A = this chain, B = another copy of it.
Amino acid sequence: MIAAIIFRMNAAPPNDTFLRACFCQPTPYTPVWLMRQAGRYLPEYRATRAKAGSFMGLATNVDFATQVTLQPLERYALDAAILFSDILTVPDAMGLGLSFADGEGPRFARPVRDEGAVAALAVPDMAKLRYVFDAVTSIRRALNGRVPLIGFAGSPWTLACYMVEGAGSDDYRLVKTLLYSRPDLMHQILAVNADAVALYLNTQIEAGAQAVMLFDSWGGVLADGAFQAFSLAYLQRVLAQLKTQHNGQRIARIVFTKGGGLWLEEIAAIKPDVIGVDWSVDLSRARRQIGQQIALQGNLDPNVLFAPAPKIEAEVDRVLRSFGAPGGHVFNLGHGISQHTPPESVAVLVDSVHRISRGMREAA
């Protein structure tokens, strides 16, 4: 106990730049973190992954999950950590039987494709996801105030895509056939998913997550009209249930619809604290659309990290200047970092974001 107190006293002052930016408060520079920052592009991640034997072996082991979450922070001056886990833990806890075949992506043994399977769905017992909450607590303790910890979940629609397709898809034929043919069943799935995701994120918050992000990775594949009815409405149902405070601290809530650039005003209307955007979005236009009360997160093309350092700096500069104003921007990629990324490119990225955004504030 005394050792813990001394350790805390000796720790660096907490870096809350990320949370301040999420709440559109002034920051000395633009904070940056990267989707999938704890991942295969890092040799130390691959070493831990090899020890764990499998992806789920890694995600379900608290020590391993803590270790890989912190790995990118040892290399780079990132302003946030994100829980190492997977969006499919929730449908797995619903009993769908998740597995990851090497090189093939996730697969469910029992996909949800008929009335009976839909009727059997229920919000899972959070005890089945205890490994996630234990990891959150462990990571938060290991971070010791260094940077905030982000928890996350898949959006109700994105989870439904995997639950119905049973795996990844390139045409979403099965899930859209259900959506168009049996919208009643689709709404049932989405309602269960929304309530499960809300409980899951609230439990992450109680375990120590200071921000939570909803990954609506497949919202962008929906038609206009269908997006509002089958994704946005359920993002709203999650947000309505989420804690906005915990232990006196405000919780940042981030919504990221990949390919959702056409619907920013509508996403803003459900009032997340932060909207994540991919690289197709012009940040200055996005700011005009969503106003000054909601922050933006994004949006460098991850493929920029395959270019030489001066080009990475130039593209970082472009993204920062397209956002413009000093507050309310969390720098990120527009999608998860590629496993083929040279680790040294990430150092260039993080340092450029900090240096250029400080310079912009000084010049202002």
Chain A positions near chain B (C-beta within 8 angstroms): 171-173, 176-177, 179-181, 220, 222-227, 259, 261-262, 279-282, 299-301, 303-304, 306-308, 311, 315, 318, 322, 334, 338, 340
Contact = CB atoms under 8 A, between A and B. Distances in A.
A114 to B, nearest CB: 15
B181 A307 contact: yes
A318 B225 contact: yes
Contacts of A308: 181
Contact of A338 (B171, B262, B318): B171
- Return the 10 tightest CB-CB contacts between A and B, nearest first: A176-B303, A223-B279, A180-B307, A177-B306, A223-B301, A224-B282, A181-B307, A261-B262, A180-B304, A180-B311
A60 B347 CA distance: 51
A253 B279 CA distance: 28
Contacts of A299: 223
A304 B224 CA distance: 13
Contacts of A261: 261-262
B222 A303 contact: no
Given A223-B280, A223-B300, A261-B261, 5 more contacts: A176-B306, A179-B303, A224-B280, A259-B280, A262-B262
22 contacts: A173-B306, A173-B338, A176-B301, A176-B303, A177-B306, A177-B307, A180-B304, A180-B307, A180-B311, A180-B315, A181-B306, A181-B311, A220-B280, A223-B299, A223-B300, A224-B279, A224-B281, A224-B282, A225-B282, A225-B318, A226-B301, A262-B281
